[in-house]
């Protein structure tokens, strides 16, 4: 039994391809680039090998995101939970200091 996941709906455009080409020239790993854009690494490989977005020019270094590796989905979920708890602690402290519960 095989089951394919629903497509992500994320597609790359010419501006994305320019940034990808710039990241490749900078020496970023294809895996990190794919993670930054939230796409399968094959999409980055297609740009790297000239199969897609042949006409796109590489973006300049100042236009590129920071170097990877990037935060994973798991790490992001942990950070969001921690921020939520921190916000609750701030709200509780504020209520305590101002006499509001």
Q: For residues 70 and 51, what is the distance between their CA atoms, to the nearest angstrom? A: 26
Under 8 Å between Cβ of 28 and 19: no
In tens, the pLDDT along 68-101 reads 999 999 999 999 999 999 999 999 999 999 986 5
3-state secondary structure of 85: helix
- Is-above-0.85 flag for pTM? no
Question: Within a 10 A sphere around the Cβ of 48, how many other Cβ atoms?
Answer: 16
More confident residue, 75 or 4: 75
Q: What confidence tens digit (pLDDT) does each residue in 25-84 have?
A: 999 999 999 999 999 999 999 999 999 999 999 999 999 999 999 999 999 999 999 999
CATH number (3.40.1000, 1.10.10, 1.10.3860, 1.25.10) of 12-69 reads 1.10.10
């Amino acid at each position: 039994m095989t089951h394919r996941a629903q497509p992500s709906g994320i597609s790359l455009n010419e501006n994305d391809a320019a940034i990808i080409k710039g990241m490749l020239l900078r020496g970023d790993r294809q895996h990190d680039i794919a993670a930054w854009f939230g796409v399968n690494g094959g999409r980055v490989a297609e740009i790297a090998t000239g199969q897609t977005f042949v006409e796109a020019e590489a973006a300049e270094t100042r236009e590129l995101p920071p170097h990877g590796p990037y935060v994973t989905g798991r790490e992001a979920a942990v950070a969001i939970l921690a921020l939520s708890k921190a916000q609750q602690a701030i709200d509780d402290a504020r209520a305590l200091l101002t006499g509001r519960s």
